[in-house]
């Protein structure tokens, strides 16, 4: 399923701190007048648009003290440029439509599917769109307007009102991105597909198409690393939650041997560990996480039996597997291990 990321007019917004402006309504009207005059000059027959400035509040922490700021957000470019950006989304979907299958549910929700055979052509369509619409039209219009007296006039007005602001220049508008089958990019079938595309391009002496396939290969490897990091972070976070809960149960249910362990809590913990093992296995982390899950299960059995020695030994092994020097206190070992897991990439070292 393709994931089409199309930048919007949000990429054009500029924010300024207007907390110190005494007459904010007058300040807004003055800036709106300037923007309206610029729109009239550049927009020609296009729709002028509505309200151009919005006011809001933001909280910032300065030396431990929370301070509320009043912030004005606006787009310091003509409405014609904003409208051009708004058309980009429909253009992007039109560009890849020849290469996707659309499934519409009874409720009207649409799902898009793309076969691997269509990948290279769809990528080329997006690259061409970026070259034509993003670089030659939108980015060129941004760069040209930033050099104009009208752009300077906007920020001169802000500075003259007593607001400290730097005129932004060199704004880079993001490209349209097409991500396909994010979990499948590391599969052997995906790699074989790209190898075959490259072979055909070489046989046909099509240098541009071969270059395109090589570019897709590079993007796929980069995306693979991003996906693996995201998966690893999620699994690491879930495992740290299980580990912290394990430490809590070790304190309340196993440290003295006299307190009765909450069996429902243990059952819930064992279920979470089992679900985590299954999830990790589905994305290739099953063997890597197995020792950690085994320790969770051993500790759960020790808690159920009130075996404090088994709990302590399991906690030590768990701490060592996370690169932590174990102590003689079980819950401390689990807490230190959980902290280590939240702060470092433990698993990718193994699979990379």
Instruction: Please check whether residues 167 and 98 belong to one and the same domain.
Output: yes
163 located within any domain: yes
Instruction: Please check whether residues 170 and 33 belong to one and the same domain.
Output: yes
3-state secondary structure of 112: strand
Tell me the C-alpha distance between 322 and 253, whole Å.
Answer: 24
The domain total for the chain is 2
Given a cut of 70, is residue 156 above it in pLDDT? yes
Tell me the C-alpha distance between 335 and 339, whole Å.
Answer: 6
Select from 158, 180, 202 the last residue of a domain.
180
Host domain of residue 327: 227-351
Query: What's the pLDDT score for residue 68?
Result: 86
Query: What's the pLDDT score for residue 352?
Result: 43
Query: Which of the four pLDDT bands, split at 50, 70 and 90, describes residue 256?
Result: very low
Tell me the C-alpha distance between 169 and 322, whole Å.
Answer: 47
Tell me the C-alpha distance between 57 and 69, whole Å.
Answer: 5
Query: What separation in angstroms does the CA of 192 have from each of 107, 164, 188?
Result: 37, 56, 6
Tell me the C-alpha distance between 127 and 177, whole Å.
Answer: 9
What value does the mean pLDDT of the chain take? Answer: 77
185 located within any domain: no
52 located within any domain: yes
> Between 346 and 47, where is the model more confident?
47
Query: Which of the four pLDDT bands, split at 50, 70 and 90, describes residue 182?
Result: very low
Cβ contact 321:292 at 8 Å: yes
188 located within any domain: no
206 located within any domain: no
- Provide the terminal-to-terminal Cα distance of the chain, rounded to the nearest Å: 26
Mean pLDDT of the 5-20 span: 91
- 273-283 pLDDT, tens digit each: 887 777 777 66
193 located within any domain: no
């Amino acid at each position: 399923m393709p994931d089409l990321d199309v930048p919007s007019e949000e990429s054009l917004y500029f924010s300024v701190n207007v907390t110190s402006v005494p007459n904010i309504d007058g300040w807004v009207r003055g800036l709106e007048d300037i923007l309206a005059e610029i729109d009239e000059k550049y927009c020609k027959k296009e729709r002028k648009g509505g309200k151009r400035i919005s006011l809001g509040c933001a909280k910032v922490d300065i030396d431990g003290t929370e301070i509320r700021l009043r912030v004005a957000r606006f787009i310091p470019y003509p409405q014609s440029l904003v409208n051009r950006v708004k058309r980009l989304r429909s253009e992007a979907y039109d560009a890849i439509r020849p290469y996707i299958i659309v499934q519409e549910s009874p409720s009207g929700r649409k799902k898009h599917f793309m076969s691997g055979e269509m990948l290279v052509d769809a990528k080329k369509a997006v690259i061409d769109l970026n070259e034509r619409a993003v670089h030659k039209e939108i980015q060129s219009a941004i760069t040209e307007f930033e050099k104009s007296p009208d752009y300077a006039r906007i920020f001169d007005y802000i500075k003259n009102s007593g607001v400290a602001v730097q005129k932004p220049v060199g704004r880079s508008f993001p490209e349209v991105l097409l991500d396909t089958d994010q979990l499948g990019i590391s599969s052997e079938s995906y790699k074989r597909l790209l190898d075959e595309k490259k072979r055909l391009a070489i046989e046909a002496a099509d240098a541009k198409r071969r270059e395109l396939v090589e570019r897709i290969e590079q993007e796929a490897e980069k995306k693979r690393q991003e996906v693996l990091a995201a998966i690893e972070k999620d699994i690491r976070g879930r495992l740290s939650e299980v580990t912290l809960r394990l430490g809590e149960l070790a304190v309340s249910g196993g440290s003295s041997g006299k307190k009765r362990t909450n069996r429902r809590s243990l059952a819930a913990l064992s279920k979470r560990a089992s679900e985590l093992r299954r999830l990790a296995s589905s994305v290739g982390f099953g063997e890597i996480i197995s020792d950690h899950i085994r320790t969770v299960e051993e500790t759960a059995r020790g808690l159920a039996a009130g075996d404090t020695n088994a709990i302590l030994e399991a906690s030590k092994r768990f701490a060592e597997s996370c690169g932590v020097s174990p102590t003689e206190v079980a819950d401390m070992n689990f807490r230190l291990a959980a902290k280590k897991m939240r702060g470092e990439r433990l698993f990718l070292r193994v699979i990379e």
